[in-house]
Structure 1
Amino acid sequence: MSEFLTIGEPIGLFASQDADQSLVEATHFQKYLAGAEVNVSVGVSRLGHSTEYVTRLGEDPIGAFVSQQLSLNHIGTDYVDTTADYWTAMQFKQRVTKGDPGIFYYRKNSAAAHFDKASLDNIDFDGIKMVHLSGIFPGISEQALVAFKHLIELVHQHSTIRTTFDPNLRPQLWSSQAKMVSTINALAAEANIILPGVNEGEILMGSRDPEKIADFYLGNSHYTDTVIVKVGSKGAYVKVKGGQGSMVAGYHVDKVIDTVGAGDGFAVGVITGLLEGLSNKQAALRGNAIGSLAVQAPGDNDGYPTQAELRTYQAK
């Protein structure tokens, strides 16, 4: 029995070790576990919460590596199945000293893209308190989108379960921006808590203003009662339906090593904070803290803290 569940596509990440070299020039790589939803699972588990991850892996070395890493991170695999017909997704990431890294994916036609929605009917929702949803998994294939919608239908049958939704825009996965926008906004409307960034707000509803972004999502759904907008280094803007919004300050970082995984780290903070009974603002503050730790580490989820590490960091 787990408190937390999510569905996604895990990725075997090969990160270059030579700073500011293109992926063409780089010759030294280190292997990591990656993927937005699995990043969140790692962070939630590291903070001591029981976790289940739903996916499909290929019967290949990368799939075996992912399975191994899930176990090492104490992430439940009751709903992870395998197939010999398709491969596990891979990714190459450039190491940079400034800005966002270059990324190259091998994920088209992956095992997760052929996820069977019937597998979801085996999920035991007893004890689950939070389900995290991301806009990436429904973008990898039409089959994944169908499965994603089915999971939402199943979750709605359990009124005690809260859902978070991170748009996590990946335009390269979609046939057009118009389809991405309409699909992501429709899926977001099914969640209780939405976690967009200001850049995503500009694409999804035409504004970078945190209050306008929050009002857009709060006004478009009877399920959504909370929107927490990520505003980069400035922190986060929190607004609940019928209430006044407010900013929650971010954390200063002296040196950014890798920006990938910061948004997932923010989600980890919000989810675990709410699981532990923190207010929305306190949960957002924790999200800001973990997001800032994430950008100070090279892997997508290497910087996520334990409870002791988080307490020490927030006490500074």
Structure 2
Amino acid sequence: MNTLDVVTFGEPMVMFYANHPGPLHTATSFSRALAGAESNVACGISRLDLRVGYVTKLGNDSFGKFIIQALEHEQVHTKGISLSDTHSTGMLVKSKVLEGDPEVEYFRKNSAASTLSMNDFSETYFSEARHLHATGIPSALSRDCHHFTLTAMNYMKKLGKSISFDPNLRPGLWKDEKTMIDTVNQLAYLSDLFLPGLSEAQTLTGLSNPHEIAEFYLSKGIQTIVIKLGPEGAFYKTGQEEGYVLGFKPDQVIDTVGAGDGFAVGVISSFLEGKPIGEAVTCGNAIGALQVMSPGDMDGMPNRESLEQFMQMQQKKDRSELPTRLS
């Protein structure tokens, strides 16, 4: 019996984001929050009433304790988290902007999460989940983290569990682009549901057209690929169907960070509920739009009621397919 719907792993961090717009070096006051791609997804899925477990290592410090408290507040299971007395918890600082992308600076080198290794892998814990969500970030942190990622994905695949994978390319964390491309593609091929952004997919394949990119990954054994197209929506393709789903227009773009994680939350939760892929992508687009209207990395992640209200409001608008110029 599965006691978890989803298990994920990675590096959650403490984020300090500026309270007033302007260059990061001029900021004088900050607010604190939880950050990290995988923790964003974990919390977002939990808010939709699915059971989520998170696996990581944190420093035995105030930041680590804050992260555990924040995850538990979001009802994310934390028994897969261990504490290190020799490495600290990672952090980041982020500027506030009125438009465009904020400045972000990371302080994560040699963090506790970067020491996640095979010694921290529990077959019992992972087997309790029916789905694994992974990203390309842990493999960029260290060789040990990469081995952990490969082991987790191969183990869940062996058990017949479903796997989603978001490349979340972070070129600054890799020693060179070729290593990044080869490693991330190796992981992508192990997934059932692949969720790259268009620019990420172009980097990973050298192809430009969403149709060609999707065909490339389907030929590698991936069952479903969904390519994020930013505000314009997303393109999906399986062995049986394909299509474009128009994006939702946010009332105001406050912060674009976390939009892709919100998209993943919508697609994965719908996928696990057995919804058709087109509906899953629509849900992903909706949560992505909600997320960019909020200041924090996951402040816009909705609960079930607010998501349904937002989507019902949007359904009153014309939601025809994307224009053929994208095809």
Tell me if TM exceeds 0.5: yes
Which of 291, 295, 298 pairs up with 1:298? 295
Residues 312 and 226 of structure 1: CA distance in aligned 2, closer, same or farther (over 3 Å): same
The residue aligned with 1:199 is 199
Matched ranges for 1:1-316 at <5 A: 1-19=3-21, 21-159=22-160, 161-219=161-219, 221-222=220-221, 224-241=222-239, 243-316=240-313
Residues 230 and 119 of structure 1: CA distance in aligned 2, closer, same or farther (over 3 Å): same
Range that drifts further, 278-287 or 207-216: 207-216
What CA deviation, in whole Å up to 9, does each residue of 1:265-289 have, x standing for no partner? Answer: 0000011101212111101100000
Q: What is the Cα deviation at residue 153 of structure 1?
A: 2.0
Partner Cα separation in structure 1 for residue 212 and residue 124 of structure 2: 37
Partner Cα separation in structure 1 for residue 311 and residue 241 of structure 2: 26
Q: Any conservation in 2 of the 1:130–1:271 contact (CA below 8 Å)?
A: no
What CA deviation, in whole Å up to 9, does each residue of 1:216-274 have, x standing for no partner? Answer: 1111x23x110011011111111002x34210111011310000000000000011101
Q: What is the Cα deviation at residue 207 of structure 1?
A: 2.8
| TM-score, with structure 2 as normaliser | 0.93
Aligned residue for 1:228, secondary structure, equals strand
Q: Any conservation in 2 of the 1:43–1:268 contact (CA below 8 Å)?
A: yes
Range that drifts further, 208-217 or 295-304: 208-217
Partner Cα separation in structure 2 for residue 232 and residue 86 of structure 1: 37
Q: Any conservation in 2 of the 1:210–1:231 contact (CA below 8 Å)?
A: no
Q: Which runs of 5 or more structure 2 residues have no equivalent in the other structure?
A: 314-327
Partner Cα separation in structure 2 for residue 107 and residue 123 of structure 1: 29
Aligned residue for 1:258, secondary structure, equals coil
Q: Any conservation in 1 of the 2:157–2:163 contact (CA below 8 Å)?
A: no
Question: Which letter does structure 2 place at the counterpart of 1:41?
Answer: A
Question: Which letter does structure 2 place at the counterpart of 1:236?
Answer: A
Q: What is the Cα deviation at residue 127 of structure 1?
A: 4.8
Partner Cα separation in structure 2 for residue 127 and residue 61 of structure 1: 30
Q: What is the Cα deviation at residue 125 of structure 1?
A: 4.1
Aligned residue for 1:131, secondary structure, equals strand
Q: Which runs of 5 or more structure 1 residues have no equivalent in the other structure?
A: none
Report the identity percentage.
Answer: 38
What CA deviation, in whole Å up to 9, does each residue of 1:126-167 have, x standing for no partner? Answer: 5522110101111111111111111112112211x1100001
Aligned residue for 1:255, secondary structure, equals coil
Aligned residues: 311
Range that drifts further, 150-159 or 291-300: 150-159
Question: Which letter does structure 1 place at the counterpart of 2:86?
Answer: D
Aligned residue for 1:18, secondary structure, equals strand
Question: Which letter does structure 2 place at the counterpart of 1:280?
Answer: I
Question: Which letter does structure 2 place at the counterpart of 1:313?
Answer: F
Aligned residue for 1:129, secondary structure, equals strand
Partner Cα separation in structure 1 for residue 18 and residue 118 of structure 2: 35
Q: Any conservation in 2 of the 1:294–1:302 contact (CA below 8 Å)?
A: yes
Partner Cα separation in structure 2 for residue 135 and residue 89 of structure 1: 17
Residues 144 and 127 of structure 1: CA distance in aligned 2, closer, same or farther (over 3 Å): closer
